[in-house]
Amino acid sequence: MSMGNMKKEILILGNSGVALSAIRTIRKIDKKINIAVISKEGEPFYSPVLLPYYIQGKIPKCSLYPFGFEFYEKNTVEILCGKKVQKVSGKSRKVLLENGSEFAYEKLIIATGASPFIPPIPGIKNRGIFGLRTVEDADLILGHLGRRVVIVGAGAVGIGIAVALRKKGLEVAILDQIDISQFLAGMVDLEIAQEIVKNLEENGIEVFLNQNALDMEFYGNPIQGIRGSGLNLKCDTAILATGVRPNLAFIDPHEISLGSKGGIVVDDRMMSSCPDVYAGGDCVEAVNFITGVKENNPIWPNAVEQGKIAALNLLGIPTVYRGFIKENVINLFDKVLFVAGEMRGEKKCCDERQKLSRIISQNGVIRGCQILGAPEKYGMYLRMIQDGYETDPLSPLFEKDFFWMSKWRGVKKRKNTVHQSLKKSRA
């Protein structure tokens, strides 16, 4: 549905996880209320989670767009694509686009996501140095890929891209400045980190940690390699996966407060500091359910949940956002890593043949989990963390379907907004 000039009842900036989730939630409840979407990209909805699988060649391009533009027609949603926002004025409830158009709104959802940090070197993409966040990035990479690629950044995204390109048949190396003790931002302990690196190396991915970032430089145009601190890695393509920054250049921080990572700070109704301006997804800083501290958590399931809650509150259905739990699934070679929660506390290991597991608890309550091995029913561990299950006795935790087991053991779980593992320590 093309965009008219009338005031929008609900205006959504962004067209990814939060937008899809919000549209679905709103339309389940109200088929008539006006919804409009403004997207900087020219495409219908897609999830960036699919991009490594696309560059691997596992899925065709059409699979990236499961709905096409018919989705917006079907759901009576106005959409304006390929337009960037210049300014949001919360006070006058107006959004100004770079092309000069202006749209008034009653309620706004800011869901513009985040972008990979790329050094502001002119012409960097023409040299073969890319980020991977959009379909455009993916197509540029596919058009440029030769035989050897270096991924800068050994985080969840970097590893995912490395595995995908290795499976495609390329020679792959990963670089990072961290030490192995800081692998995956402390979400895995040293032993699991070492196993992950081993899994990558055994399958032909070279891993170089402890690299001095200040010393590194790309050389060649188009890129021939990366060198510095005694390392010289030849490559024809480099992909930067060192973290994402919220896309919020159009915000006035005096009007819409930003947090330490530059994300919009939201309360437990997903509302920003400006009335009727909601926000969700990779561009916000919302409360971490376990620590109680607001953080940026740019992962897909987070966006989906926050979009839903923002939409409910925006419709006048008060719904408390209890906070997120950091969670991730990383598909390695014949092994999967699952991590969730917070890793500070008492650690108990339960290793079996081909599987390393860790449960982290504090004050007898589970707060974190790391599993490396064959895939399992991860959602149950997440549920245990969410509901603050008590961890004594521990041994049943690693049996399948312990979720039901803990119910029968009379383990108490409480529906509080403060995580159980923190409560007792305050007493």
Partner 1 sequence: MKRFILVDYEKCHGCNSCTLACSFAKTKEFNPTRASVTIVHLPDQGNLTFPVLCQNCLEPPCLEVCPAQAITRDEESGVTSINEKLCIGCKLCVMACPIGGPWVDARESRIMKCDLCEGDPKCVKYCGFEALQFVSAEEAAYKKRKEGAKKLSELLKKQG
Nearer to partner 1, 103 or 289 (CB): 289
Residue 289 binds partner 1, judged by CB under 8 A:
no
Non-local (6+) Cβ contacts of 221 within 8 A are 123, 126, 127
- The strand pair at 148-152 and 171-175 is best described as parallel
Strands (E) across 85-178 are located at 85-89, 94-97, 102-110, 114-116, 129-130, 148-152, 171-175
Residue 74 binds partner 1, judged by CB under 8 A:
no
Nearer to partner 1, 198 or 377 (CB): 377
Q: Quick one: which of 6, 29, 42, 58 contacts partner 1 (CB under 8 A)?
A: 58
State whether residue 212 is helix, strand or coil: coil
Nearest distance from C-beta of residue 20 to partner 1, angstroms: 9
Select from 145-153, 236-244, 247-255, 395-403 the region that touches partner 1 (CB under 8 A). Answer: 395-403
* Contact call for residues 28 and 18 (beta carbons, < 8 A): no
* Contact call for residues 110 and 69 (beta carbons, < 8 A): no
Residue 93 binds partner 1, judged by CB under 8 A:
no
Q: Quick one: which of 75, 182, 291, 331 contacts partner 1 (CB under 8 A)?
A: 331
Give the Cα-Cα-Cα angle 108, 75, 297 (nearest 5 degrees): 45
Nearer to partner 1, 228 or 301 (CB): 301
Q: C-alpha 334: how far from its chain's center?
A: 23
Q: Quick one: which of 212, 320, 375, 424 contacts partner 1 (CB under 8 A)?
A: 375
Tell me the C-alpha distance between 47 and 64, whole Å. Answer: 7
Nearer to partner 1, 60 or 316 (CB): 60
Nearest distance from C-beta of residue 331 to partner 1, angstroms: 7
Residue 199 binds partner 1, judged by CB under 8 A:
no
- The strand pair at 284-287 and 294-295 is best described as antiparallel
Q: Quick one: which of 11, 22, 26, 50 contacts partner 1 (CB under 8 A)?
A: 50
Q: Quick one: which of 6, 213, 349, 374 contacts partner 1 (CB under 8 A)?
A: 374
Residue 53 binds partner 1, judged by CB under 8 A:
yes
Nearer to partner 1, 217 or 404 (CB): 404
CA distances from 244 to 81, 249, 381, 408 (A): 22, 14, 27, 43
Instruction: With residue 369 as reference, give the H or E element that holds it.
Output: strand 365-373
Residue 24 binds partner 1, judged by CB under 8 A:
yes
Nearer to partner 1, 352 or 401 (CB): 401
* Contact call for residues 111 and 12 (beta carbons, < 8 A): yes
* Contact call for residues 109 and 278 (beta carbons, < 8 A): yes
Residue 377 binds partner 1, judged by CB under 8 A:
yes
- What length does the chain have? 427
Residue 308 binds partner 1, judged by CB under 8 A:
yes
Nearest distance from C-beta of residue 373 to partner 1, angstroms: 11
Q: How many CA atoms lie within 13 A of 189 on its CB side?
A: 18
Give which of 227, 288, 234 is closest to 261, Cα–Cα. 288
Residue 168 binds partner 1, judged by CB under 8 A:
no
* Contact code string over 332-371 relative to partner 1, x by CB under 8 A: ----x-x-x-------------------------------
Q: Quick one: which of 34, 47, 76, 291 contacts partner 1 (CB under 8 A)?
A: 47
Nearest distance from C-beta of residue 64 to partner 1, angstroms: 9
How many residues touch partner 1 (CB under 8 A)?
38
Nearer to partner 1, 208 or 403 (CB): 403
> Judging by beta carbons within 10 Å of its beta carbon (0-12, 13-18, 19+), is residue 80 exposed, middle or buried?
middle
State whether residue 115 is helix, strand or coil: strand
Residue 327 binds partner 1, judged by CB under 8 A:
yes
Tell me the C-alpha distance between 59 and 297, whole Å. Answer: 27
Q: Quick one: which of 408, 415, 425, 426 contacts partner 1 (CB under 8 A)?
A: 408
Question: Binding residues for partner 1, per CB under 8 A?
Answer: 17, 21, 24, 47, 49-50, 53, 58-59, 63, 66-67, 300-301, 304, 308, 327, 329, 331, 336, 338, 340, 374-380, 382-383, 400-401, 403-405, 408-409
